[in-house]
Amino acid sequence: MFFEGSEKKLEIIVAASAPNLRELDVSFWSALVNCAHAEILSQLSNADCDAYLLSESSLFVWHDRFVMLTCGNSTLVDAACYFIDALGVSAMALVSYQRKNEYQAHLQASSFADDVGKLRQRIAGKAMRVGHLDSHHHYFFCSDSDYRAPKDDQTCELLMYHIRGELADYLNGGSQSKDEICAALELNDLLPEFEIDAHLFDPSGFSMNGLWGKYYVTLHITPQSENACASSYVSFETNLDLAQYPQDLLGRLLALFSPVSWDTIRFNTDDLTQGFPAHLCLGRGSLTTEQGYDISFSHYQQLEAEVLIPEFM
């Protein structure tokens, strides 16, 4: 059975007049998550943030904003509409919605255009695409607002496709444990400051959230590659300033998973490739929103040729 690993992403920043989001009851967040056809599996909290592992990725809540990622056939736009309707448009400082092209778009409940239509019934905004239509590309919606992003409001996303090698073989082996996967990912070495919450799915799949003060990391693995209707996929995201962090997180993850190709999406941070394996940059693009987010997208492929084997369908 095919599972769409790539995520949809929602970030909403609320106005100063809005309530402290962390004071909203967990039942509110559970209802919001249910709107996307997902459920909360576990929670991790510190003084700055609440991190929820979901059946379809992750939710992070700070006092003035939240970030939610959902994969599969989820309907994340309905969670966005639920939140806007509950707090009111006047409480929205910024609504940002992001979606990657899907491998099996016909299996999705909606298209990006459908989602934007729902959002624009509630809040005005601009929609755009970065990347080629016939290759990897990403869609963005950003609401019209007077909000201005501080330069240290940074995010980096690493999206890896067609993973290979020892770790990929292990993840497809069918006899893993959560602790063994955490050890194989070298999380204690990569993220020593972070408190980790992880979940192993049946029959396959792995999700991880991590918190360190106001900083978050999240990693989601869809390892399936055993038939012609499957495509392995791994995503990593963080708001760390990677130029200052002592570990080369992106380079280490690329070495562990050895993907055939990968994307980086960066908000207000330089597109550094230090530690990347030998590669070609097949395409890149950038845009700056009216709120001051400098967004860059790059699609890379390893230099070595991929051997393509015909598969019966």
Let me know if residue 311 belongs to a domain.
no
pLDDT, position 305: 66
With respect to residue 105, please indicate whether it lies within any of the assigned structural domains.
Answer: yes
* Residue at 275 is within a domain: yes
- Inter-axis angle of helices 76-87 and 26-35, nearest 10: 140
Handedness of CA 3, 257, 99, 305 (dihedral sign): negative
Q: Does some domain include residue 309?
A: no
Give kind and range of the element (H or E) at residue 250.
helix 249-257
Q: Is the pLDDT of residue 79 over 50?
A: yes
Question: What would the pLDDT profile of 108-161 be if each residue is shown by its tens digit?
Answer: 768 999 999 999 999 999 999 987 777 778 899 999 999 999 989 999 999 999
Question: Residue 1: inside a domain, yes or no?
Answer: no
Q: What is the mean pLDDT of residues 240-252?
A: 94
CATH number reported for the structural domain that contains residue 231 in this entry: 3.60.90.10
pLDDT of 72 above 90 = no
CA of 8: how far to CAs of 65, 68, 100, 233, in Å?
17, 8, 7, 14
Judged against a pLDDT cut of 50, whether residue 228 lies above it is answered with: no
**pLDDT tens per residue, range 161-219:** 999 999 999 998 878 899 999 999 999 999 999 999 999 998 888 999 999 999 999 99
Average pLDDT, the chain: 91
How many domains in the chain?
A: 1
pLDDT at 10 over 70: yes
Which residues lie closer than 8 Å to 256 by C-beta, 6 or more apart?
167, 184, 185, 186
Has this prediction a pTM greater than 0.75? yes
The tens digit of pLDDT for each residue in 15-69 reads: 999 999 999 999 999 999 999 999 999 999 999 999 999 998 999 999 999 999 9
Is residue 103, in this structure, part of any structural domain at all? yes
Please report the sign of the dihedral spanned by the C-alpha atoms of residue 83, residue 85, residue 90, residue 96: positive
pLDDT tens per residue across span 189-204: 999 999 999 999 988 8
3-class SS at 248?
Answer: coil
Pair of tokens at residue 239 = 């708001």
Residues contacting 296, CB < 8 A, separation 6+: 264, 265, 266, 271, 284, 285, 286
Looking at the domain assignment, is residue 161 inside a domain? Answer: yes
* Cα separation, 122 vs 297, whole angstroms: 28
List the single range of 59-73, 104-118, 235-249 with lowest mean pLDDT. 104-118
Mean pLDDT, residues 71-84 taken together: 93
pLDDT of residue 136: 79
Residue 202 confidence (pLDDT)? 84
SS3 call for 78: helix
Residue 257 maps to a domain: yes
Domain that holds residue 71: 8-145+152-300
pLDDT of residue 229: 47
- pLDDT-based confidence at residue 1 (cuts at 50, 70, 90): low
